[in-house]
Structure 1
Amino acid sequence: MITLAAGGCTSVSDGQAEAGVHFEQAGPAGTVPPGLEKFYGQQLGWGACDDYASSDTDRKLFKSTPELKCARLTVPLDYTKPDGKTITLGLLRRKATGQRIGSLLINPGGPGASGVDAAASLAGAVAGNDLGKRFDLVGFDPRGIGSSEPSVHCLTDAERDQQRADDIEDSSAAGVAKQVQQLKDYTSKCAQRSGADLLANIGTRDVAKDLDVMRSALGDKKLTYLGFSYGTFLGTTYAEQFPANVRAMVLDGAVDPSQSPADQSVAQSAGFQKAFEQFAAWCVKRQDCALGKDAGKAVQAYHDLVIPLVKNPVDTGDGRKLAFADATIATIQALYTEQLWETLNSGLVQLKRGVGLTLMTMADLYDGRGTDGKYSNEQDAFTAVQCVDNPQSKDLATELDTERRATQAAPFLDNGQPLPTASAGDACSYWPVPNTSQPHLPKVSGLPATLVVSTTNDPATPYQAGVNLAGALGGFLLTYQGTQHTAFLQGSDCVDQVGVAYLVDLKLPAADPRCSS
């Protein structure tokens, strides 16, 4: 049969070629770059999502939500060689239940987070509003991530556990030398296990090109996009490459595309310090606060709990030990949202008793470790994308200066050790392939109005970055007053009303709106 879709006709087969799979060809739609016609007009086979899940939780969600269907999109590994190697990306779709406008493509951030998982999680949030009625909600795993094939893979599960258990806070000359060797070993394994050709083409520059293939294959002449956190950088990169192909973009939790990695790190540290102070002010009002009763002394109270872990990790109860680095990651995880403050305080109270289970559980959540001991590839993918999106720093003095500035901006993160006389750098200092982009002010001539959402006390992507991005794109800025990372579709009726009206009807307020928690 033939059914109409945005951008043209969709031909649908009965799926007999593969049991349980429903084949559709909705593209090509809109502008198609020469030489890429077979990708832009490819057929997609939609079926069950079981094989696309990255955790047991996701598998249960997919099984309980049968309307979610998944498919694979084929794209060139290297866009300069469209007739060369190809890779596939995992897609998940919840179809519109009303008069369809097109697809709403989402990216949850990271880089390294699964858009397949994110779309499944958001399916319920859009079901009752016009987004769910008017748009197919489509999440995708960017190249090398989650269900996409091949995937970035650097460490085995056992090696990841060992890496976390190792003392990485030793600032002696021997400690720095050990860190350098560990970083070199890590990057060597990334190249060996992932393939240098995948690492060379995994950057946001190429993911943006994949996004345009996706747009066309789904049958959309123009892209409607929702990006969170790093997803705002992906959206900005797409807008720069394909400004005429954009219908609408909501960019929530903005990354400033012109800011250097060093300055981003320092600004983010300051953001987490501000969130820690908000947590401390909340905590000291409680009878059971692990940080005492004086918010002015909360940093010292926190240090008294976690700095001893540098030399004396504590048992978690599952055969592992909680070291300083994991306690820090657990705290950072909790500072992303007020909903985890109760758990953080419980973990710190537990740490007072010499047990690290709750904090380790939160660190596992951040690092993508499941209850079965298996890791997602989110952290490896994060490193891989970051290292090709930015110039690789070889200047150890600059690395040391960044470390010093970040520590000054976030005193609660201080490990109590003297800064090393020479920095070990990071994985990107030894990365096996060159960067494919660098920070710059985007050029987006012809881009329609966009909506940037920025939260006043966002710890991970500070408010000013949203101000800067809205200015760079010539878009509207929605300010949300709160302490959390991102705000759209997360419980604020005010934010959701503005965002939904824009995405559905392209309606924006006359002036930059403000919402409060």
Structure 2
Amino acid sequence: MGAAGAALALIVTAGFAPLDEQDLARSFYGQHIDWRPCLSPEELAEAEPVEGDPDWRARLECGTVTVPVDHGDPGGRTIETAVVRHPAQGPADQRRGSLVFNFGGPGRAGVAQFESGPLPVSRRIRDSFDLVSFDPRGVGESAGFTCPEWDAMERPLEEIAGLEPDRVGPDQLRDLERTAHRFTWSCVDEVGTEFLANMGTVNVVRDLDLVRDALGDERLTYVGFSYGTYVGALYAEMFAENTRALVLDGALQNQRGVIADGVEQSEGAQRAWEAFVSYCLEKAPECPFTGAEEAPAEAEALLAGIDADPIVVQNTRIDRHEMLALLRDSLYTERQWESDARLLARIVEGDTQDPFVQAYLGSFVAGQRDDRGATQSAFTAVQCADHARPGGIRAYQEGAQRAARVSPFFGGDEIWSYLPCASWPDTELAPGGLSAPMAPPLLVVGTRADPATPYAWSEELADQLTTATLLTYEGGGHTAYAGGRACVDGVVDAYLLDGVVPATGASCPGEL
């Protein structure tokens, strides 16, 4: 039976498991990680140099922690969770254990993130903690997978790109539904219903507690970005007694269903775009807009011109669809806003062969060549596992209409990408209404003009978690910690190192 027609299973805690299952589950605790260099001498010699710390990669150590696929059936299949660490650099008497990072997604691999270069954290943090991350189940080296039909929806989505959702016709709806179904069942064929049923965050959290134990830490110190905030909040709910300090930066809201969350994300992206336009008009050296009231029409004219005459970069055509994707992605990094404004200004001037334009768009094209299949597969699997989800395509069409109303610049196209959830296998849902009343003080960080996780979600999570305090960054970009913002980094470091919680209403000024 599909997800739409079945009551979704609720979490079953260890307290309700038969005694023999409890004992078997406990057998996964007490593991010791066999650390080894992540990269061989040959791989280190061939790797591109990294800025700031040329020996970073040489110090990285990798290992695994064994976890059950189904924590409710600990005698069944297991997988190896890949773990990476950068040892603390300070004197032994100053070290405080591990600081575990989750970089979001879902679908972001922690091992690859560490291997890409040094984490931009302060010297005190690097001296005091072993910096640690892991690949969540189904991601990267932790039984990562790619659904063979992960790109099945790309063609029908391109055909309706920019089209008002209520103008998508019956044939197009059938095509979307058919290709979404192909995506779903190619995932089932690839890894099976049992694995997909256990891809949800509730099991990532259980895995994380096994990782904490294997690291030798009595309690968890953790930084979660974006989706990682949900991992952290759920950990505080399920394992409060094992929690030391959790930073939840760019809060994700998972309590309202996949469509409702998508609509609210679209609204957040619109607010971030409007913040960018304000920056462009007030501060950018080059800006294509003449005023706040004129900007919507001027932006639409710019996109229409690109659609009529796409820009060719590295044999790739950049049309309206790709430009919107670039702009939405670049809003994630506040320090790119000046370059975005320059890019748009020069396109409006008709100088698409300008070296800056070609180089900037070229970097975007190169980024699109990464392994999107594995990322998209894991992202969809977790989104569908974590959310309540309707089974009929009309609900997604109505959601796309709502998204288009709250985000006139970006439109509602993103909602269609959640359509595979309509036919997703039944999964275990995590408990709702998280409050973690027994957790120690927690720190939520919210960015006022966050394009991916709206600031309102950080406010909501801080209110929801009994012991949480909210720190507001009054600028833009997606997440704020470890991004070179001295005020934010100072407050978060004080919390991680010494448990100092900021005052209620604490904020840091924007830096643009």
Does the CA contact (< 8 Å) of 1:494 and 1:515 recur in 2?
A: yes
Matched position secondary structure for 1:476: strand
Does the CA contact (< 8 Å) of 1:58 and 1:117 recur in 2?
A: no
Q: Give 1:444's aligned residue.
A: 436
**Matched ranges for 1:249-288 at <5 A:** 249-284=246-281, 288=286
Aligned partner (choices 99, 102, 109) of residue 104 of structure 1: 99
**Matched ranges for 1:83-102 at <5 A:** 83-98=75-90, 99-102=94-97
**Cα shift at 1:284:** 4.1
1:333-353 deviation per Cα after TM superposition (whole angstroms, max 9, x unaligned): 011122222443455444856
Does the CA contact (< 8 Å) of 1:90 and 1:116 recur in 2?
A: yes
Q: Point out which structure has higher relative CO (alpha carbons under 8 A, 6+ apart).
A: 2
Q: Give 2:457's aligned residue.
A: 465
Q: Distance in 1 between matches of 2:65 and 2:500?
A: 32
Letter in 1 for 2:473: Y
**Cα shift at 1:218:** 0.4
Q: Give 1:362's aligned residue.
A: 364
Letter in 2 for 1:331: L
**Cα shift at 1:192:** 1.9
**Is 2:237 the partner of 1:245?**
no
Does the CA contact (< 8 Å) of 2:311 and 2:319 recur in 1?
A: no
Aligned partner (choices 332, 337, 347) of residue 336 of structure 1: 332
Q: Give 2:387's aligned residue.
A: 390
Q: Distance in 2 between matches of 1:82 and 1:499?
A: 37
Q: Distance in 1 between matches of 2:242 and 2:293?
A: 51
Q: Give 2:25's aligned residue.
A: 36
**Matched ranges for 1:76-475 at <5 A:** 76-98=68-90, 99-120=94-115, 123-126=118-121, 128-129=123-124, 131-149=125-143, 151-155=144-148, 163=155, 166-169=158-161, 171-284=168-281, 288-289=286-287, 291-307=288-304, 314=310, 316-348=312-344, 349-350=346-347, 358-359=360-361, 361-362=363-364, 365=367, 369-370=369-370, 374-375=371-372, 377-414=374-411, 426-431=419-424, 433-437=425-429, 440-474=432-466, 475=468
Q: Distance in 2 between matches of 1:267 and 1:145?
A: 26
Matched position secondary structure for 1:412: coil
Segments of 5+ residues of structure 2 without an aligned counterpart are: 1-20
**Cα shift at 1:216:** 0.3
Structure 1 residues 453-462 or 335-344, which shifts more?
335-344
- Cα gap change, 1:58/1:276 in structure 2, threshold over 3 Å: closer, same or farther? farther
Matched position secondary structure for 1:480: strand
Q: Give TM-score scaled by structure 2 length.
A: 0.82
Q: Distance in 2 between matches of 1:468 and 1:81?
A: 34
Does the CA contact (< 8 Å) of 1:391 and 1:435 recur in 2?
A: no
**Cα shift at 1:181:** 1.9
Structure 1 residues 258-267 or 135-144, which shifts more?
258-267
Does the CA contact (< 8 Å) of 2:156 and 2:175 recur in 1?
A: no
Does the CA contact (< 8 Å) of 1:153 and 1:194 recur in 2?
A: no
Q: Distance in 2 between matches of 1:319 and 1:156?
A: 25
- Cα gap change, 1:506/1:323 in structure 2, threshold over 3 Å: closer, same or farther? same
- Cα gap change, 1:79/1:59 in structure 2, threshold over 3 Å: closer, same or farther? farther
- Cα gap change, 1:375/1:58 in structure 2, threshold over 3 Å: closer, same or farther? farther
Q: Give 2:12's aligned residue.
A: none
Does the CA contact (< 8 Å) of 1:327 and 1:359 recur in 2?
A: no
Q: Distance in 2 between matches of 1:487 and 1:424?
A: 27
Does the CA contact (< 8 Å) of 2:61 and 2:86 recur in 1?
A: yes
Q: Distance in 2 between matches of 1:59 and 1:183?
A: 39
Q: Give 1:46's aligned residue.
A: 35
The alignment-based identity, stated in percent, is 34
- Cα gap change, 1:469/1:64 in structure 2, threshold over 3 Å: closer, same or farther? closer
**Cα shift at 1:249:** 0.5
Aligned partner (choices 499, 502, 505) of residue 509 of structure 1: 502
**Cα shift at 1:276:** 1.1
- Cα gap change, 1:425/1:111 in structure 2, threshold over 3 Å: closer, same or farther? closer
Q: Distance in 2 between matches of 1:436 and 1:353?
A: 53
Q: Distance in 2 between matches of 1:186 and 1:90?
A: 26
Matched position secondary structure for 1:316: strand
**Cα shift at 1:459:** 1.8
Q: Give TM-score scaled by structure 1 length.
A: 0.81
Does the CA contact (< 8 Å) of 2:152 and 2:182 recur in 1?
A: no
- Cα gap change, 1:179/1:313 in structure 2, threshold over 3 Å: closer, same or farther? farther
Q: Distance in 1 between matches of 2:108 and 2:417?
A: 27
**Cα shift at 1:377:** 1.7
- Cα gap change, 1:315/1:463 in structure 2, threshold over 3 Å: closer, same or farther? closer
Letter in 1 for 2:132: V
Q: Distance in 2 between matches of 1:375 and 1:60?
A: 25
**Cα shift at 1:152:** 2.6
Does the CA contact (< 8 Å) of 2:66 and 2:79 recur in 1?
A: yes
- Cα gap change, 1:47/1:346 in structure 2, threshold over 3 Å: closer, same or farther? farther
Q: Distance in 1 between matches of 2:273 and 2:98?
A: 38
Does the CA contact (< 8 Å) of 1:453 and 1:487 recur in 2?
A: yes
Does the CA contact (< 8 Å) of 1:338 and 1:484 recur in 2?
A: yes
- Cα gap change, 1:446/1:302 in structure 2, threshold over 3 Å: closer, same or farther? same
1:428-479 deviation per Cα after TM superposition (whole angstroms, max 9, x unaligned): 1122x11321683114231111011111122211122111111211211111
Supply the RMSD in Å over aligned alpha carbons. 3.3
**Cα shift at 1:382:** 0.7
Q: Distance in 1 between matches of 2:351 and 2:171?
A: 32
Letter in 2 for 1:228: F
Q: Distance in 2 between matches of 1:213 and 1:163?
A: 42
